């Protein structure tokens, strides 16, 4: 995609791609969570995004912001554990930041992801280095903001964000968890990729997949 804006159809395709990717990676996410959590991360996200896709089939959000707000509300209702409230907050805050605009620029997308990150950090009180989804999302936010400042096209900008998210997730392996259930394990949490960071990388990667089609 070489244009400078992203529309509601593309955001819908993104969520559909997230649903497919989460389903394909459900077992891996659950294995990651089994090592340091409740062993339900993949199952919970699969259920949540399946519900989101079903909700989308019955309505036509008028803007990317409205779509993301609906995604967030659905995840909060349908997903258990910590991931439902956290991802729900992220999508709702991103949708709120986008407002009613029908086409989203790279700069506006950057602002939306910054709002998503801020929402997660308010709710979860996590910082980079705590071995959480923040360790994947924060680098993605920085990469997208840099791309926006440089005037990069959506494909390059989102590609940079996705690469940063993946690297951030992989960087959680040697960390000791300081937040959430994994923190109870202390040093035993070292050596495992954080499942929330892994799913965050998948979600940003799904956006790259649809933007670069």
The Cα–Cα gap between 198 and 193 comes to: 7
How many domains would you assign to the chain? 1
Residue 119's domain comprises 5-211
Q: What is the pLDDT of residue 15?
A: 97
Find out whether 104 and 112 touch, Cβ atoms under 8 Å. Answer: yes
Q: What is the pLDDT of residue 5?
A: 67
Rg of the chain, C-alpha, whole Å = 16
**Domain containing residue 69: CATH number:** 1.25.40.340
Residue 180 binned pLDDT confidence (cut-offs 50, 70, 90): confident
Beta pairing class for 103-105 and 5-7: antiparallel
Which 3 state secondary structure label does DSSP give 130? coil
Q: What is the pLDDT of residue 1?
A: 38
The Cα–Cα gap between 29 and 198 comes to: 7
């Amino acid at each position: 995609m070489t244009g400078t804006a992203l529309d509601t159809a593309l955001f819908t395709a993104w969520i559909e791609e997230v649903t497919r990717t989460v389903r394909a990676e459900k077992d891996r996410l659950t294995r990651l969570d089994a090592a340091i959590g409740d062993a339900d991360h993949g199952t919970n996200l699969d259920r949540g995004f399946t519900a989101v896709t079903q909700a989308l089939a019955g309505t036509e959000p008028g803007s990317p912001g409205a779509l993301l707000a609906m995604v967030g509300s659905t995840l909060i209702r349908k997903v258990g554990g910590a991931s439902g409230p956290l991802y729900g907050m992220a999508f709702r805050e991103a949708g709120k930041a986008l407002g009613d605009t029908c086409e989203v620029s790279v700069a506006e997308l950057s602002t939306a992801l910054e709002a998503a990150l801020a929402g997660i950090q308010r709710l979860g009180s996590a910082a980079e280095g705590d071995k959480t989804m923040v360790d994947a999302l924060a680098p993605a936010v920085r990469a997208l903001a840099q791309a926006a400042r440089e005037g990069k096209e959506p494909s390059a900008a989102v590609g940079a964000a996705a690469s940063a998210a993946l690297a951030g997730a992989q960087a959680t392996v040697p960390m000791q968890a300081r937040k959430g259930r994994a923190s109870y394990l202390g040093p035993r949490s070292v050596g495992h990729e954080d499942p929330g960071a892994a799913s965050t990388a998948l979600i940003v990667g799904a956006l790259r997949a649809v933007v670069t089609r």
